Chains A and B, each alone.
Chain A
Amino acid sequence: MQGEIIIIAILASLACVIPGVFLLLRKMALISDAISHSILPGIVIGYLIKQSLNTPYPIIGAVVFAMIMVVTSEALHRSNLVKPDTAIAVVFPPLFSLGVLLVTLLAGNVHLDTDAVLLGELAFAPLDRMMVAGYSVPKSLVKMLLIVIFNGGIIILLFKELKVSTFDPILSKSLGFSPSFLHYLLMLMTSITAVGAFDSVGAVLVLAFMITPAATALLLTNSLFVMVFISFGLAIASSILGVLLALQLDAGISGAISTVMGGFFILAYFFSPLNGMVTKLKHKMNIKHEYALSIILYHLSNHCDAHNMETECSYSHLKEQFSYSERYLKKIVHKAVEAGLIKQKNRVFHITERGRNDARLHISH
């Protein structure tokens, strides 16, 4: 049971990550949010036909409403009535409201409630089962597997095209891949994934599953190919850890998985070897140290032989001259002594031959 929940969670997050990577790179992250909200009325209407989420009808309804949202918001900003972001911001709330209203009005006789809309019910997913080749498996597992295969198939077949049209739409057009076809394909993928993940993840957190692993991966690499695989790894790890966390706390699973995904993002934000905050800070400090060292070496190499070197090369003079704090100066000097660039005698510094060469090198740069 627990194993099945984990497998379904992994499949759901993998399915979401595939369109998510491209949505993020195309600066369309919030369109996926808008889509995952807008499909709600479609799902409810589709649900009503067979009283079940595991039929094709909710998917069809969802795709129809996703397209309504995409086409309406594009038409609105193309007709110059509002800006593109405003167009999205005004189109999805009424659609979502319509969905919530339908859910509330039908609450008496329908196994859909607002909690399910928000949270999904991953914990109950293994209860709804079907027979496949003699084995009893959860329906949502089969559904998510099919979506993973669909999305995976599309990116394996169209990786090159998606890549080009994402980074250089004009080149893509001149090479003969229609960017607008790929755009709508991506929208289709997003809406199918959103509706598939809907009952396990919930409408709002589909966005977390799509965007967060992709964004974390973006902080860790500059290659699209690597980014896709890091996103997969993060999706799998977050799903396993998230389910375990949720079971530990007896709390909602999709919220827990999103939280773990967020944790990974924060880690990457600070500690990414590529551009993380801590890495950047270290780099900055290194440059600062190097500068301080070279300026001291230069000063010493100029004054070491002079008659007033007793005062010019003393510790207190260096401190005064460059207005470094005591601690900082000690640190730099210590480093320089360790590296054999300078020597200290009776609180007066002598530059070594190596130090002289180094200073010359720094100046010539």
Chain B
Amino acid sequence: MSLLYDMIFDYTLRNVALGTFLLGLGSGAVGSFMTLRGESLLGDAIAHATLPGVALAYMLTNTKDPLVLLIGAAIAGVLGIGAITAITRTTKIDNDGANGIILSIFFGFGLLLLTYIQKLPQSSQAGLDRFIFGQAATIIAKDVVIIAIVQVFVLVVVTLFFKEFKSSTFDPQSTTVMGFNQKIIDAIFATLLVAVIVVGLQTVGVILISALLITPAAAARQWTHSLKTMVITSSLFSAFSGMIGSLLSASRNNLPTGPMIVLVLTAFLIFSFLFGAKRGIVLRKIALIKRERSFDHNRIMLALDNLAQSHDDTSLAHSSKTIGLMVQQTHGMHRMLKQLAQKGLLIQSEEASYALSKQGELYVKNLKNEGGLYAG
């Protein structure tokens, strides 16, 4: 509870918690669209591409004012997106390759500049370093304000253009037919992407910021088939992971924030993969078992019906062995017959002998009407 206490009353921790929480809101929302558009790796490329912007902004203005550095980063990010689009449109290099080239060239150039700045006599590079892995502890009230403004802007735009984004994500052709300009929608989306990446840089760092977009979206996808719910869930996942991760990193000296947030996000993701309500592995497994069981049950019911008709006497009980032979299965026969008897579909006449009950006959009749084994 002391962490909660600190979160409310400690100046640094309060900024950190609030800043990373807000950061997650917008990035989770933008990330949802990106995963669905098949652009999960674009965020990574753009994030890396912002590094030379930060370095150049510092070299040109000689200040470490976050606003100036972030504007530099944003310009580099936009250039990166433009370059990727140009390469994929005009050469035979595919999207993946274009992402990789821009990511690595820009980042390499950024590192060249950073190492150059580091060796300059009067200036120290300290402070720019944090853009690589992120340092949540350096967030001050002014940063929180910047983050808040940008995130509110992002969320408002996502809400306003929700319909357009949705349609262009799932069906670009019909978007054009309906009269929306795909290029403008893409440009708006790219602006949002650059905005959420840039404000997250000094907290999470260029290398891992894309995880803040993509991982919560992948997790949210496991819980719902509705885009609106997915965007909201993803935002919340991202926000809470950001907050928990940054608090963990701030609570022990110098744990890098980006990696801590990513590990928390991944924990959410693994949980969602396992237990997600729509796609989760465990629930899928349970559904599979249920389906298999109802399939087996139906086969037994049909077999008994078959036996009853060939004996002209529906009340005659048959041993589980006979039934087993009919459905060519012996494994778990007793258990399944008992389950059916419990449901009242079978009557157990003596040890291990069963016949259809009245209710059972009705069930078989329905089954046949509905189309055989797959019903029920």
Residues of chain A at the chain B interface (Cβ within 8 Å): 24, 27-30, 32-33, 37, 76, 79-83, 85-86, 88-90, 93-94, 96-98, 100-101, 104-105, 114, 118-119, 202, 204-205, 207-208, 211-212, 215, 218-219, 246, 249-252, 254-259, 261-262, 265, 269, 275, 277, 280
Contacts and interface: CB of A to CB of B under 8 A. Distances in A.
B112 A259 contact: yes
Contacts of B307: none
Contacts of A32: 100
A86 B35 contact: yes
Contacts of B35: 82-83, 86
B237 interface: no
Contacts of A29: 96-97, 99-101
B116 interface: yes
18 contacts: A27-B96, A29-B101, A33-B104, A37-B207, A85-B41, A88-B41, A93-B215, A94-B262, A204-B104, A208-B105, A208-B107, A215-B97, A218-B93, A255-B109, A255-B115, A258-B105, A262-B108, A280-B90
Nearest to A94: B266
Given A93-B215, A207-B100, A81 B222 contact: yes
Given A204-B48, A207-B103, A261-B108, A86 B96 contact: no
Contacts of B40: 83, 85-86, 88-90
A28 B97 CA distance: 7
Interface stretch (B167-175, B252-260, B360-368): B252-260
A354 B215 CA distance: 70
A258 B108 contact: yes
Contact of A96 (B41, B90, B207, B215): B207
A256 B113 CA distance: 9
A207 B41 CA distance: 14
A30 B43 CA distance: 12
A211 B111 contact: no
Given A104-B256, A257-B108, A261-B108, A89 B210 contact: yes
Contacts of A89: 40-41, 43-44, 210-211, 214-215, 218
Contact of A258 (B87, B107, B208): B107
A29 B109 CA distance: 19
A249 B59 CA distance: 14
Contacts of B263: 94, 97-98, 101
Given A24-B97, A86-B218, 9 more contacts: A33-B44, A89-B41, A94-B266, A97-B262, A104-B256, A104-B259, A114-B256, A119-B115, A259-B105
Contacts of A85: 38-41, 96
Contacts of A100: 133, 256, 258-259
Among B44, B90, B222, B279, which residue has the most Cβ atoms of chain A within 10 A?
B44
A173 to B, nearest CB: 22
A202 B44 CA distance: 17
A249 B111 CA distance: 13
A202 B207 CA distance: 13
Contact of A252 (B93, B111, B259): B111
Contacts of B214: 86, 89-90
Contacts of A258: 104-105, 107-109, 111-112
Contacts of B111: 118-119, 202, 204-205, 252, 254-255, 258
Contacts of B279: 80-81
B183 interface: no
B142 to A, nearest CB: 26
B92 interface: yes
Interface of B: 35, 38-41, 43-44, 48, 87, 90-94, 96-97, 99-101, 103-116, 119, 132-133, 207-208, 210-211, 214-215, 217-218, 221-222, 254-256, 258-260, 262-263, 265-266, 269, 273, 279, 281
A171 to B, nearest CB: 20
Contact of A93 (B39, B101, B266, B273): B266
A255 B112 contact: yes
Contacts of B210: 89, 93
A38 B279 CA distance: 26
Nearest to B52: A259
B237 to A, nearest CB: 12
A106 to B, nearest CB: 12
A269 to B, nearest CB: 7
Per CB-CB distance, the 3 closest pairs between chain A and chain B, nearest first, are A258-B108, A208-B104, A262-B105
Contacts of B265: 93-94
A275 B87 CA distance: 12
Contacts of A261: 105, 108
B108 A205 contact: yes
Contacts of B211: 89-90, 93-94
Contacts of A249: 112, 116
Contacts of A255: 108-115
A256 B107 CA distance: 11
Contact of B101 (A119, A246, A254, A265): A265
B109 A33 contact: no
A162 B96 CA distance: 20
Contacts of B221: 82
B163 to A, nearest CB: 23
Given A30-B41, A212-B101, A215-B101, A259 B222 contact: no
B259 A215 contact: no
Contacts of B105: 208, 212, 258-259, 261-262, 265
A351 B90 CA distance: 40
A37 B266 CA distance: 16
B108 A83 contact: no
A109 to B, nearest CB: 15
A218 B97 CA distance: 11
Given A89-B210, A97-B208, A211 B97 contact: yes
Contacts of B207: 37, 96, 204
Contact of A259 (B39, B90, B109, B259): B109
Contacts of B218: 81-82, 86, 89-90
A82 B278 CA distance: 12
Nearest to A202: B111
B97 A205 contact: no
Contacts of B91: 218-219, 269, 275
A246 B208 CA distance: 27
B259 A33 contact: no
Contacts of B109: 255, 258-259, 262
A280 B92 CA distance: 14
A281 B222 CA distance: 48
Among A211, A219, A275, A280, which residue has the most Cβ atoms of chain B within 10 A?
A211
